[in-house]
Amino acid sequence: MRKYSLFFVIIILLIILGGCNKLITTDDLIGGKWVAKSGYKDGEAYGKPQCPYLNDGIEFKDEETVYVKSGDKDFRYNLRKSDDGMEITFFNPSGDMDSYEVIMNNENKLVLIGFGTGVSKSFNCYFEREK
């Protein structure tokens, strides 16, 4: 009987923990324009936006295309789950690519935190959706 009790406790914990980490989908990103409001540091909006070509705003058109207002260009993007959460990579038509950790505190607030080995590691932006 103790085995079954332990089994049920483990299952309940897994369900609770699984619900704490919301999976962000492309549907969460599409709809409206995302406007950079500030940078992001230590879990809070802070200072000026620091995502150079994204600072003027972005709009996710579909599951693989994002319009980047700065430069008036469409970029490809890839959203994926990683060991540390959600990640997005933007592919500039010029051949550059930048990867970010993605955080959504609610449906209208988006945070991108750069990572990797290049310059984008220091990039971070807090966006709000304008509908």
Q: Which residue has the tokens 């936006």?
A: 49
Residue numbers of the domain that contains 75: 24-130
Segment 112-127, tens digit of pLDDT: 999 876 666 789 999 9
Within a domain: 5: no
Which of these, 131, 122, 65, lies nearest to 99 by C-alpha position? 122
Segment 54-110, tens digit of pLDDT: 999 999 999 999 999 999 999 999 999 999 899 999 999 999 889 999 999 899 999
CATH number of the domain that residue 96 is part of: 2.40.128
Within a domain: 15: no
Total domain count, the chain: 1
Q: Do strands 97-106 and 85-91 pair parallel, antiparallel, or not at all (unpaired)? A: antiparallel
Within a domain: 125: yes
